[in-house]
Protein backbone atom coordinates (compact mmCIF):
# COMPACT_ATOMS: atom_id res chain seq x y z
CA UNK A 1 0.00 0.00 0.00
CA UNK A 2 1.24 3.48 -0.86
CA UNK A 3 2.15 5.47 2.27
CA UNK A 4 -0.34 8.19 3.11
CA UNK A 5 0.87 11.69 2.48
CA UNK A 6 -0.33 13.29 5.74
CA UNK A 7 0.98 16.60 7.00
CA UNK A 8 2.15 16.73 10.64
CA UNK A 9 -1.04 18.71 11.41
CA UNK A 10 -3.16 15.97 9.86
CA UNK A 11 -1.30 13.34 11.86
CA UNK A 12 -1.99 15.25 15.02
CA UNK A 13 -5.67 15.38 14.15
CA UNK A 14 -5.69 11.61 13.63
CA UNK A 15 -4.02 11.21 17.04
CA UNK A 16 -6.69 13.39 18.61
CA UNK A 17 -9.52 11.38 17.03
CA UNK A 18 -7.85 8.14 18.12
CA UNK A 19 -7.68 9.44 21.69
CA UNK A 20 -11.33 10.46 21.55
CA UNK A 21 -12.42 7.17 20.00
CA UNK A 22 -12.73 5.45 23.36
CA UNK A 23 -15.91 5.97 25.41
CA UNK A 24 -14.04 6.08 28.74
CA UNK A 25 -11.57 8.66 27.51
CA UNK A 26 -14.46 10.65 26.10
CA UNK A 27 -16.14 10.49 29.53
CA UNK A 28 -12.94 11.58 31.29
CA UNK A 29 -12.78 14.61 29.00
CA UNK A 30 -16.41 15.45 29.81
CA UNK A 31 -15.70 15.26 33.55
CA UNK A 32 -12.62 17.46 33.17
CA UNK A 33 -14.51 19.93 30.95
CA UNK A 34 -17.24 20.23 33.59
CA UNK A 35 -14.43 20.82 36.13
CA UNK A 36 -15.89 18.15 38.40
CA UNK A 37 -12.49 16.60 39.06
CA UNK A 38 -8.88 17.44 38.49
CA UNK A 39 -6.67 14.82 40.11
CA UNK A 40 -6.56 11.18 39.10
CA UNK A 41 -7.97 10.05 42.48
CA UNK A 42 -11.07 12.25 42.05
CA UNK A 43 -11.68 10.74 38.61
CA UNK A 44 -11.48 7.25 40.08
CA UNK A 45 -14.22 8.23 42.55
CA UNK A 46 -16.47 9.34 39.69
CA UNK A 47 -15.82 6.61 37.13
CA UNK A 48 -16.12 2.81 37.23
CA UNK A 49 -12.38 2.40 36.59
CA UNK A 50 -9.26 1.40 38.51
CA UNK A 51 -6.64 4.08 39.19
CA UNK A 52 -4.16 2.44 36.81
CA UNK A 53 -6.73 2.46 33.96
CA UNK A 54 -7.54 6.12 34.55
CA UNK A 55 -3.80 6.89 34.51
CA UNK A 56 -3.42 5.07 31.18
CA UNK A 57 -6.32 6.99 29.64
CA UNK A 58 -4.94 10.28 30.94
CA UNK A 59 -1.59 9.43 29.38
CA UNK A 60 -3.21 8.95 25.94
CA UNK A 61 -5.20 12.18 26.30
CA UNK A 62 -2.07 14.02 27.33
CA UNK A 63 -0.07 12.66 24.39
CA UNK A 64 -2.80 13.96 22.09
CA UNK A 65 -2.53 17.31 23.92
CA UNK A 66 -6.20 17.14 24.86
CA UNK A 67 -5.46 17.54 28.54
CA UNK A 68 -2.62 19.17 30.38
CA UNK A 69 -1.25 18.30 33.77
CA UNK A 70 0.16 20.70 36.33
CA UNK A 71 2.40 19.19 38.97
CA UNK A 72 1.97 20.53 42.48
CA UNK A 73 3.71 18.67 45.28
CA UNK A 74 2.72 15.01 45.27
CA UNK A 75 -0.23 15.37 42.88
CA UNK A 76 -0.85 16.30 39.27
CA UNK A 77 -3.96 18.28 38.41
CA UNK A 78 -5.37 17.59 34.94
CA UNK A 79 -7.49 19.97 32.94
CA UNK A 80 -8.65 20.39 29.39
CA UNK A 81 -5.97 22.00 27.20
CA UNK A 82 -7.81 25.04 25.79
CA UNK A 83 -5.26 25.67 23.03
CA UNK A 84 -5.80 22.24 21.51
CA UNK A 85 -9.55 22.51 21.76
CA UNK A 86 -9.64 25.93 20.10
CA UNK A 87 -7.34 24.67 17.33
CA UNK A 88 -9.35 21.47 17.00
CA UNK A 89 -12.58 23.38 16.46
CA UNK A 90 -10.99 25.24 13.54
CA UNK A 91 -9.46 22.09 12.03
CA UNK A 92 -12.66 20.08 12.20
CA UNK A 93 -14.63 22.99 10.75
CA UNK A 94 -12.19 23.14 7.84
CA UNK A 95 -12.19 19.38 7.34
CA UNK A 96 -15.95 19.15 6.94
CA UNK A 97 -16.57 22.43 5.16
CA UNK A 98 -18.38 22.18 1.85
CA UNK A 99 -15.94 23.69 -0.68
CA UNK A 100 -18.76 24.44 -3.12
CA UNK A 101 -20.55 26.50 -0.50
CA UNK A 102 -17.46 28.32 0.68
CA UNK A 103 -14.62 29.31 -1.57
CA UNK A 104 -12.43 30.25 1.42
CA UNK A 105 -11.35 26.59 1.41
CA UNK A 106 -8.15 27.52 -0.40
CA UNK A 107 -4.76 25.84 -0.37
CA UNK A 108 -3.47 28.73 1.65
CA UNK A 109 -6.04 28.20 4.39
CA UNK A 110 -5.55 24.45 4.49
CA UNK A 111 -1.89 24.95 5.25
CA UNK A 112 -2.48 27.52 8.02
CA UNK A 113 -1.01 26.19 11.29
CA UNK A 114 -3.54 25.04 13.87
CA UNK A 115 -2.63 27.53 16.53
CA UNK A 116 -1.94 30.79 14.72
CA UNK A 117 -5.35 32.46 14.49
CA UNK A 118 -6.88 31.01 17.62
CA UNK A 119 -3.92 31.42 19.95
CA UNK A 120 -3.76 35.19 19.59
CA UNK A 121 -7.49 35.54 20.06
CA UNK A 122 -7.98 37.38 23.40
CA UNK A 123 -10.83 35.07 24.38
CA UNK A 124 -8.70 31.97 23.79
CA UNK A 125 -5.90 33.56 25.85
CA UNK A 126 -8.26 34.33 28.72
CA UNK A 127 -9.74 30.83 28.61
CA UNK A 128 -6.26 29.31 28.80
CA UNK A 129 -5.18 31.62 31.62
CA UNK A 130 -8.35 31.05 33.60
CA UNK A 131 -8.18 27.26 33.15
CA UNK A 132 -4.68 27.25 34.56
CA UNK A 133 -5.60 29.26 37.65
CA UNK A 134 -8.85 27.37 38.14
CA UNK A 135 -6.80 24.18 38.33
CA UNK A 136 -4.46 25.86 40.80
CA UNK A 137 -7.35 26.98 43.00
CA UNK A 138 -8.94 23.53 42.90
CA UNK A 139 -5.69 22.00 44.11
CA UNK A 140 -5.89 24.28 47.11
CA UNK A 141 -9.47 23.24 47.73
CA UNK A 142 -8.57 19.53 47.93
CA UNK A 143 -8.67 17.81 51.36
CA UNK A 144 -6.43 19.44 53.99
CA UNK A 145 -4.29 16.37 54.60
CA UNK A 146 -2.96 16.66 51.04
CA UNK A 147 -2.19 20.39 51.30
CA UNK A 148 1.45 21.43 51.39
CA UNK A 149 2.86 22.93 54.57
CA UNK A 150 2.63 26.68 54.86
CA UNK A 151 6.36 27.40 54.75
CA UNK A 152 7.02 25.77 51.39
CA UNK A 153 3.59 26.11 49.91
CA UNK A 154 4.43 29.49 48.37
CA UNK A 155 6.98 27.72 46.19
CA UNK A 156 4.96 25.94 43.52
CA UNK A 157 8.01 24.66 41.68
CA UNK A 158 8.30 24.46 37.91
CA UNK A 159 6.88 21.36 36.22
CA UNK A 160 9.06 21.65 33.14
CA UNK A 161 11.98 23.79 32.02
CA UNK A 162 9.56 26.34 30.61
CA UNK A 163 7.02 25.99 33.36
CA UNK A 164 6.15 29.12 35.28
CA UNK A 165 9.48 30.52 36.38
CA UNK A 166 7.80 33.85 36.84
CA UNK A 167 4.52 33.09 38.52
CA UNK A 168 5.50 30.29 40.83
CA UNK A 169 9.06 29.70 41.87
CA UNK A 170 9.68 33.46 42.00
CA UNK A 171 7.30 33.59 44.94
CA UNK A 172 9.99 32.07 47.16
CA UNK A 173 12.06 35.24 47.10
CA UNK A 174 9.68 37.96 46.05
CA UNK A 175 9.87 40.10 49.15
CA UNK A 176 7.31 38.96 51.72
CA UNK A 177 8.74 39.04 55.21
CA UNK A 178 8.06 36.10 57.50
CA UNK A 179 6.25 38.41 59.94
CA UNK A 180 3.96 39.62 57.11
CA UNK A 181 2.87 36.07 56.44
CA UNK A 182 2.48 35.06 60.09
CA UNK A 183 -1.11 34.18 60.89
CA UNK A 184 -2.08 33.45 57.27
CA UNK A 185 -3.24 29.86 56.68
CA UNK A 186 -1.70 27.54 54.09
CA UNK A 187 -4.82 27.97 51.95
CA UNK A 188 -3.64 31.58 51.49
CA UNK A 189 0.16 31.27 51.39
CA UNK A 190 -0.05 28.01 49.42
CA UNK A 191 -1.65 29.82 46.50
CA UNK A 192 0.57 32.87 46.50
CA UNK A 193 1.47 33.21 42.82
CA UNK A 194 2.84 36.72 42.58
CA UNK A 195 6.25 38.07 41.64
CA UNK A 196 6.64 40.91 44.15
CA UNK A 197 5.24 42.43 47.33
CA UNK A 198 3.18 45.47 46.28
CA UNK A 199 1.58 45.94 49.71
CA UNK A 200 5.01 46.12 51.32
CA UNK A 201 5.92 49.07 49.06
CA UNK A 202 2.59 50.89 48.82
CA UNK A 203 2.58 52.72 52.17
CA UNK A 204 -1.01 51.65 52.76
CA UNK A 205 -2.80 54.01 55.18
CA UNK A 206 -5.57 53.27 57.69
CA UNK A 207 -9.01 53.99 56.24
CA UNK A 208 -7.98 53.64 52.60
CA UNK A 209 -9.94 51.77 49.92
CA UNK A 210 -7.63 49.35 48.15
CA UNK A 211 -8.37 47.38 44.98
CA UNK A 212 -6.33 44.27 44.06
CA UNK A 213 -6.33 43.28 40.36
CA UNK A 214 -6.27 39.49 39.91
CA UNK A 215 -6.49 38.74 43.62
CA UNK A 216 -6.10 34.96 43.32
CA UNK A 217 -6.33 33.29 46.74
CA UNK A 218 -6.28 36.74 48.36
CA UNK A 219 -2.82 37.00 49.91
CA UNK A 220 -2.23 40.68 49.11
CA UNK A 221 -5.82 41.59 49.99
CA UNK A 222 -5.39 40.12 53.47
CA UNK A 223 -2.06 41.91 53.96
CA UNK A 224 -3.64 45.21 52.83
CA UNK A 225 -6.69 44.61 55.04
CA UNK A 226 -4.51 44.58 58.15
CA UNK A 227 -3.10 47.97 57.18
CA UNK A 228 -6.32 49.77 56.19
CA UNK A 229 -7.94 48.56 59.43
CA UNK A 230 -11.66 48.52 60.23
CA UNK A 231 -12.24 51.99 58.73
CA UNK A 232 -10.84 50.96 55.36
CA UNK A 233 -11.74 48.26 52.90
CA UNK A 234 -10.16 46.02 50.31
CA UNK A 235 -11.72 44.70 47.10
CA UNK A 236 -10.17 41.81 45.19
CA UNK A 237 -11.21 41.20 41.57
CA UNK A 238 -10.47 37.99 39.71
CA UNK A 239 -11.93 36.46 36.55
CA UNK A 240 -11.56 32.83 37.68
CA UNK A 241 -14.61 31.63 39.64
CA UNK A 242 -12.59 28.96 41.49
CA UNK A 243 -10.11 31.59 42.70
CA UNK A 244 -12.92 33.86 43.91
CA UNK A 245 -14.48 30.89 45.72
CA UNK A 246 -11.15 30.06 47.37
CA UNK A 247 -10.50 33.69 48.33
CA UNK A 248 -13.98 34.03 49.86
CA UNK A 249 -13.44 30.83 51.87
CA UNK A 250 -10.11 32.27 53.07
CA UNK A 251 -11.80 35.54 54.08
CA UNK A 252 -14.35 33.59 56.12
CA UNK A 253 -11.57 31.57 57.78
CA UNK A 254 -9.70 34.77 58.66
CA UNK A 255 -12.89 36.60 59.67
CA UNK A 256 -11.63 39.44 57.45
CA UNK A 257 -14.71 41.65 57.40
CA UNK A 258 -13.16 44.56 55.52
CA UNK A 259 -12.30 42.41 52.45
CA UNK A 260 -14.60 41.37 49.62
CA UNK A 261 -13.91 39.44 46.44
CA UNK A 262 -15.69 40.16 43.15
CA UNK A 263 -15.75 38.06 40.02
CA UNK A 264 -14.72 40.14 37.03
CA UNK A 265 -12.14 41.03 34.44
CA UNK A 266 -9.56 43.70 35.10
CA UNK A 267 -10.26 45.11 31.64
CA UNK A 268 -13.86 45.81 32.80
CA UNK A 269 -13.60 46.40 36.53
CA UNK A 270 -16.80 45.89 38.55
CA UNK A 271 -15.98 49.03 40.54
CA UNK A 272 -17.46 52.55 40.51
CA UNK A 273 -15.42 55.41 39.05
CA UNK A 274 -13.27 57.52 41.36
CA UNK A 275 -13.85 55.35 44.45
CA UNK A 276 -10.42 53.78 45.06
CA UNK A 277 -7.37 55.28 46.84
CA UNK A 278 -4.85 52.60 45.91
CA UNK A 279 -4.75 49.91 43.22
CA UNK A 280 -2.37 47.02 43.81
CA UNK A 281 -1.66 43.94 41.71
CA UNK A 282 0.80 41.07 41.78
CA UNK A 283 1.85 39.34 38.57
CA UNK A 284 -1.46 39.71 36.75
CA UNK A 285 -1.46 42.55 34.20
CA UNK A 286 0.98 40.58 32.00
CA UNK A 287 -1.76 37.93 31.68
CA UNK A 288 -4.21 40.40 30.14
CA UNK A 289 -4.14 40.55 26.33
CA UNK A 290 -4.92 44.32 26.36
CA UNK A 291 -2.76 46.08 28.96
CA UNK A 292 -3.86 49.53 27.74
CA UNK A 293 -7.48 48.66 28.59
CA UNK A 294 -6.41 47.53 32.08
CA UNK A 295 -4.52 50.73 32.85
CA UNK A 296 -7.39 52.87 31.52
CA UNK A 297 -9.77 51.00 33.83
CA UNK A 298 -7.41 51.55 36.78
CA UNK A 299 -7.36 55.25 35.93
CA UNK A 300 -11.17 55.32 35.84
CA UNK A 301 -11.69 53.74 39.27
CA UNK A 302 -8.95 55.71 41.09
CA UNK A 303 -9.91 58.97 42.75
CA UNK A 304 -7.95 62.02 41.56
CA UNK A 305 -4.61 61.87 43.40
CA UNK A 306 -4.96 58.11 43.87
CA UNK A 307 -2.06 55.78 43.13
CA UNK A 308 -1.19 52.34 41.85
CA UNK A 309 1.59 50.05 43.06
CA UNK A 310 1.84 47.05 40.77
CA UNK A 311 4.31 44.16 40.68
CA UNK A 312 4.42 42.45 37.31
CA UNK A 313 6.51 40.38 34.95
CA UNK A 314 8.20 42.25 32.12
CA UNK A 315 10.65 41.04 29.52
CA UNK A 316 14.16 42.29 28.78
CA UNK A 317 13.13 42.71 25.14
CA UNK A 318 10.09 42.11 22.99
CA UNK A 319 8.83 38.51 23.39
CA UNK A 320 9.10 36.84 19.96
CA UNK A 321 5.90 35.96 18.09
CA UNK A 322 6.55 32.21 18.38
CA UNK A 323 6.37 32.48 22.19
CA UNK A 324 3.50 34.99 22.16
CA UNK A 325 1.41 32.49 20.20
CA UNK A 326 1.91 29.72 22.79
CA UNK A 327 -1.30 29.70 24.82
CA UNK A 328 0.28 27.45 27.44
CA UNK A 329 2.93 30.10 28.11
CA UNK A 330 0.41 32.90 28.62
CA UNK A 331 -0.70 31.41 31.92
CA UNK A 332 2.92 31.08 32.98
CA UNK A 333 3.47 34.86 32.75
CA UNK A 334 5.76 34.53 29.73
CA UNK A 335 3.88 35.14 26.46
CA UNK A 336 2.09 38.28 27.60
CA UNK A 337 5.06 40.03 29.19
CA UNK A 338 5.71 43.44 27.63
CA UNK A 339 9.23 44.75 27.43
CA UNK A 340 10.04 47.17 30.27
CA UNK A 341 9.88 50.39 28.23
CA UNK A 342 6.60 49.51 26.51
CA UNK A 343 5.10 48.67 29.90
CA UNK A 344 6.00 52.09 31.32
CA UNK A 345 4.89 53.85 28.12
CA UNK A 346 1.49 52.09 28.30
CA UNK A 347 1.02 53.48 31.82
CA UNK A 348 1.91 56.98 30.58
CA UNK A 349 -0.53 56.68 27.66
CA UNK A 350 -3.32 55.82 30.11
CA UNK A 351 -2.75 59.19 31.80
CA UNK A 352 -0.59 58.25 34.79
CA UNK A 353 2.04 60.63 36.15
CA UNK A 354 5.03 60.36 38.51
CA UNK A 355 5.81 56.87 37.28
CA UNK A 356 8.68 55.30 39.21
CA UNK A 357 10.16 51.83 39.46
CA UNK A 358 10.26 50.84 43.14
CA UNK A 359 11.84 47.40 42.79
CA UNK A 360 13.23 45.22 40.08
CA UNK A 361 14.74 41.75 40.12
CA UNK A 362 15.50 38.90 37.73
CA UNK A 363 13.13 35.98 37.66
CA UNK A 364 14.34 32.43 37.32
CA UNK A 365 13.65 31.21 33.79
CA UNK A 366 13.89 28.16 31.61
CA UNK A 367 15.40 28.23 28.14
CA UNK A 368 13.03 30.80 26.64
CA UNK A 369 14.66 32.29 23.60
CA UNK A 370 18.33 33.15 23.49
CA UNK A 371 19.06 36.03 25.80
CA UNK A 372 15.41 36.82 26.57
CA UNK A 373 15.08 37.38 30.31
CA UNK A 374 12.08 37.94 32.55
CA UNK A 375 12.08 40.54 35.28
CA UNK A 376 9.82 41.36 38.16
CA UNK A 377 9.09 45.07 38.18
CA UNK A 378 7.23 46.92 40.92
CA UNK A 379 6.03 50.25 39.66
CA UNK A 380 4.25 53.16 41.31
CA UNK A 381 2.23 55.80 39.46
CA UNK A 382 -0.33 58.47 40.33
CA UNK A 383 -3.56 59.71 38.81
CA UNK A 384 -3.11 63.50 38.74
CA UNK A 385 -5.19 65.33 41.36
Distance CA 103, CA 219 (A): 53
Looking at beta carbons, which pairs linking 169-176 to residues 24 or more positions away fall under 8 Å?
169/364, 170/194, 170/195, 170/283, 170/363, 170/364, 170/376, 171/195, 173/361, 174/311, 174/376, 175/200, 175/359, 176/200
Least distance CB 130 / ligand SAM (angstroms): 6
CB of 312 to ligand SAM, least distance (A): 10
Encoded one letter per residue, x for contact with ligand SAM by CB under 6 A and - for no contact, window 146-185 reads: ---------------------x------------------
Residue among 258 and 282 whose Cβ is closer to ligand SAM: 282
H-type alpha helices, the chain = 8-20, 23-33, 40-46, 51-63, 82-95, 107-110, 116-119, 122-140, 150-153, 178-181, 186-189, 198-201, 219-228, 241-254, 291-301, 321-324, 327-330, 340-349
Q: Which stretch binds ligand SAM (CB under 6 A): 17-25, 51-59, 177-185, 209-217?
A: 209-217
The answer to whether residue 193 forms part of the interface with ligand SAM (CB under 6 A) is yes
One of 119, 189, 192, 376 touching ligand SAM (CB under 6 A) = 192
Q: What is the DSSP annotation of 345-371? A: HHHHHTT-EEEEEEEEEE----S-STT
Answer yes or no whether residue 129 interacts with ligand SAM by CB under 6 A: yes
Asked if 133 is part of the footprint of ligand SAM (rule: CB under 6 A), the reply reads yes
Q: Which stretch, 69-77, 105-113, 191-199, 367-375, contacts ligand SAM (CB under 6 A)? A: 191-199
Shortest Å, Cβ 194 to ligand SAM: 3
What b/e readout covers 271-281, taking b as 16+ CB neighbours within 10 angstroms?
A: beeeebbbbbb
332 binds ligand SAM (CB under 6 A): no
- When binding is defined by CB under 6 A, the residue of 42, 163, 208, 265 that contacts ligand SAM is 265
Stretch that binds ligand SAM, among 34-42, 143-151, 212-220, 316-324 (CB under 6 A): 212-220
Cα dist from 235 to 201, 292, 364, whole Å: 18, 21, 30
Query: DSSP state, 69?
Result: E
- Which residue in 175, 214, 232, 306 binds ligand SAM (CB under 6 A)? 214
Provide the b/e sequence for 29-45 (b: ≥16 CB within 10 Å).
bebbeeeebbbbebbbe
Which range touches ligand SAM (CB under 6 A), out of 16-24, 262-270, 337-345, 371-379? 262-270
User: Segment 230-249, which members bind ligand SAM (CB under 6 A)?
Assistant: 238-240, 243
Beta carbon of residue 182, minimum distance to ligand SAM (angstroms, whole number): 18
For position 261 contacting ligand SAM by CB under 6 A, the verdict is no
**What is the rounded CA–CA span in Å between residue 168 and residue 155?**
6
Q: Does 335 bind ligand SAM (CB under 6 A)?
A: no
Residue 284 as a binder of ligand SAM (CB under 6 A): the answer is yes
- Residues found near ligand SAM in the complex (CB under 6 A): 129-130, 133, 167, 192-194, 214-217, 219-220, 238-240, 243, 265-267, 282-284, 287-288
Amino acid sequence: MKPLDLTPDDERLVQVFRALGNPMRFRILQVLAAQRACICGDLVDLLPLAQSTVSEHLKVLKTADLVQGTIAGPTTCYCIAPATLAGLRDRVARLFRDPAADDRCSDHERSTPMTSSSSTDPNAIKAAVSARYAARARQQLIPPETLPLAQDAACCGPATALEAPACSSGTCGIGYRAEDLAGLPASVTGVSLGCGNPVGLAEVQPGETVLDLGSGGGIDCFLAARRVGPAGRVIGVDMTPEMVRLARANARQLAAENVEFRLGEIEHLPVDPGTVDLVISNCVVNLAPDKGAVFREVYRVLRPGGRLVIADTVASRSVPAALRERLDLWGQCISGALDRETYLATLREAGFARIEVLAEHDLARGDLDGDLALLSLTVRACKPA
